[in-house]
Amino acid sequence: MVKALKSASTPETEEGRQYHLEVKPGDVSRYVLLPGDPGRVELIAKFWEKNWKVAQHREYVTYSGYYKNVFITATSTGIGGPATAIAVEELARVGADTFIRVGTTGALTKNIEVGDLIISTGAVRLDGTSKHYVIPEYPAIASIDVTLALIEAADSLGVKYHVGLTASSDSFYVGQERPGFKGYLPPFQKGLIEFLRSVNVLNFEMEASVIFTLANIYGLRAGAVCAAIANRETEVFIPNAGVEEAVKVANEAVKILNEWDRELEKTGRKIITPSLIAETWGRRRGSFEEK
């Protein structure tokens, strides 16, 4: 017999198991990596010392485990803003408060090579989902501490990366100025890429704006690191180029954030500051030198 959920407005079981993700409190870490592709969850978990599958339902696959002794979770969001918003909503309800998108993207300028990583500081909200939550003028901004952790992780791993604004679209084809079926492209989409280049937007993807917007509204933290698998200026497209590097950076960023969070708890500070980062980095470097 199928059990009824709490209500149509609160679609979860009495124990808090969520309708779409099928996760409940205690299943997931406060730190959650968010790939779009369900298959990428296993790739992420491959780098953990210990992992287990928590749930799988529709496009949502969730693994939890430990990376360098830090409890960590990865959940796939599927493609686009609507499915991503569901993932963030339900993960937040069961205790997650820090989200890192680990995705793929198309770079807009030739100086970003296929295989490079892009760490987003914010997103142009070309999606429709975030507009259901807040006025269009509300910015989609990544959390500064998560962004800094991603930058430090990329530096420590020696991968090539760029930092800047992304544009998030609900459409992979026409919405990113790719011709639709039979070459269809409406007049209002023509010139979009050139315009975004002119205002220094680095890349196109499909989920960051929703993650950033919801995280800011709910007082949570969010960041994004994406592998450039395509370049819209050079027209090179290599599926999965840089994906493993993005995964490694995201995992390492969680470890760094955990170090900073523990330091905040120990010192009673509220915000991660440059001095705190310098202190923890000094200790990390000392431990490396001892080895």
Query: Active site residue: 20, 30, 101, 125, which one?
Result: 20
Tell me, yes or no, if 263 is annotated catalytic: no
Active-site residue among 89, 93, 178, 284?
Answer: 178
Of 12, 90, 152, 205, catalytic: 90
Q: How many Cβ atoms from other residues are within 10 Å of residue 6's Cβ?
A: 12
Is 58 designated active site?
A: no
DSSP string, the chain: -PPPPS-SSS-B-TT--BTTT---TTSS-SEEEE-SSHHHHHHHHTTSSEEEEEEEETTEEEEEEEETTEEEEEE---SSHHHHHHHHHHHHHTT--EEEEEEEEEESSTTS-TT-EEEEEEEEEE-SSGGGTS-TTS-EE--HHHHHHHHHHHHHHT--EEEEEEEEES-SSGGGT---GGG---GGGTTHHHHHHHTTEEEEESSHHHHHHHHHHHT-EEEEEEEEEEETTTTEE-TTTTHHHHHHHHHHHHHHHHHHHHHHHHHT-SS--HHHHHHHHHHHHHHHHH-
- Of the candidates 232, 245, 252, 259, the residue annotated as catalytic is 232
- Verify whether residue 17 is a known catalytic residue: no
125 belongs to the catalytic site: no
The catalytic site residues sit at 20, 90, 178, 232
